[in-house]
Amino acid sequence: MALVLNEEQRFLQDTAREFLNKRAPVSELRKLRDERDELGYSPELWQEMVELGWSSIILPEQYGGLEFGFLGLGTVLEETGRTLCASPLFATAVLGASALLLGASEAQKERLLPAIAAGETTLALALEESNHHKPHHIETRLTANEGGYLLNGSKCFVLDGHSADHLLVIARSSGEINDPEGLTMVLVARDAAGLKCQRTIMADSRNAANVVFDNVALEADAVIGELGAAWPVLEQVLDRGRVAMAAEMLGLARESFERTIAYLKERVQFGVLIGTFQGLQHRAADMQAELELAHSVVLQALSSVDDSPEQLPLMASLAKTRLNDLVKRVTNEAVQMHGGIGVTDELEIGLFLKRARVAMQILGDSGFHQDRYASLCGF
């Protein structure tokens, strides 16, 4: 597995950094928040991302994709973490595209994947039903009805759920509530009759939604993959999402660290720069070491998606745990080293802390992944 980027991947990362610094700095997130933007992201910015090929990085060429691999996508996501960029990239190009690639029929792929690549369709994964990540705990029911299906239940914390064109809903067609067997993935139009979507704005000012399904009628071809056999596909999709989120969190942590180091070099206290205080130097050195370790973990996890899929479950939980802990520590230290101004809205560093707290919960916190990692290792 490559633990360094090749020339093409470095070029992609540099291009992404230049583009995001110019078109989507942190001030743009603040603007979206202050104006309570209806979508929560800029559709013009999203189309520019599409034109750069970001929506199609992992898609095969036959569906209009670049087929550049997950490591390439990870370099872009790391840069979006640096600017706290709000866009459908994670929900659509990572979770949605992966679900279709791994589980959809050929006809479904030919219909939906080119639309994702062209920026004509956005998706959201509707999975969670409680305040904690429990991918098996599914009560939403899918029942047969006159050649099709009826969908009943509710979902919470659906990332970009209020703005997506379609929802990929995980429902139970058989089995008990906590049973991984009997789960089915269905594609539901967000404007379907009986679907109620309530937007929620998280602490990080990003999009999520609570969704209720009340006898939503679906055609038979709404099922993605096989009826009752969604778990093997869903598990891979979630692991891809965890690795991708870890890449974004790495960018968030790096930016927080670099902004803090810059502040230590300019803030004067007691007549001297606070960066000369040995205690702060030791804390900064510890963070630097943790960042480099996390970088290697994320690169290996991203590489495993394409090169060693059998290692993906372990690497995904390892990466998400490491980055959960890292962004918590780095953003805590950043706010402390900035002092009281660090928690005021005047300074952008507080926005990084808020984003970190939400990202830590996406697709599993450290407790969930530590337990999963131990189980995968046979403990």
pLDDT of residue 11: 95
Q: At 144, is the secondary structure helix, strand, or coil?
A: strand
Residue 32: C-alpha distances to residues 29, 159, 270 (Å): 5, 16, 39
- pLDDT the model gives residue 1: 57
pLDDT score recorded for residue 355: 97
Cα distance between residue 333 and residue 57, in whole Å: 34
DSSP output for 184-205 = EEEEEETT-TTEEEEEEE-TTS
Q: Are 45 and 23 in contact (CB under 8 A)?
A: yes
Q: Which positions ≥6 away from 306 have C-beta within 8 Å? A: 69, 70, 71
Closest among 244, 313, 307 to 92, alpha carbons compared = 244
CA dihedral 74, 248, 129, 88 (to 10 degrees): -70
What was the pLDDT predicted at 52?
A: 97
Check residue 342 and give its pLDDT.
86
Identify which of 106, 102, 85, 105 has the alpha carbon closest to the alpha carbon of residue 94: 102
Torsion sign (Cα): 67, 70, 75, 77: positive
Residue 125, Cα to own-chain centre: how many angstroms? 11
Neighbours of 33 (CB within 10 A): 17
The low-confidence residues of the chain, meaning pLDDT below 70, are 1-2
What pLDDT is recorded for position 5? 87
Say what the alpha-carbon torsion angle 289, 292, 296, 302 is, to the nearest 10 degrees: 130
Q: What percent of the chain has pLDDT over 90?
A: 95
Please name each of the domains of the chain with its CATH number: 7-121 (1.10.540.10), 125-229 (2.40.110.10), 232-376 (1.20.140.10)
Q: Tell me which amino acid residue 249 is.
A: M
What is the predicted pLDDT for the residue at 2? 62
Cα separation, 46 vs 87, in Å, equals 6
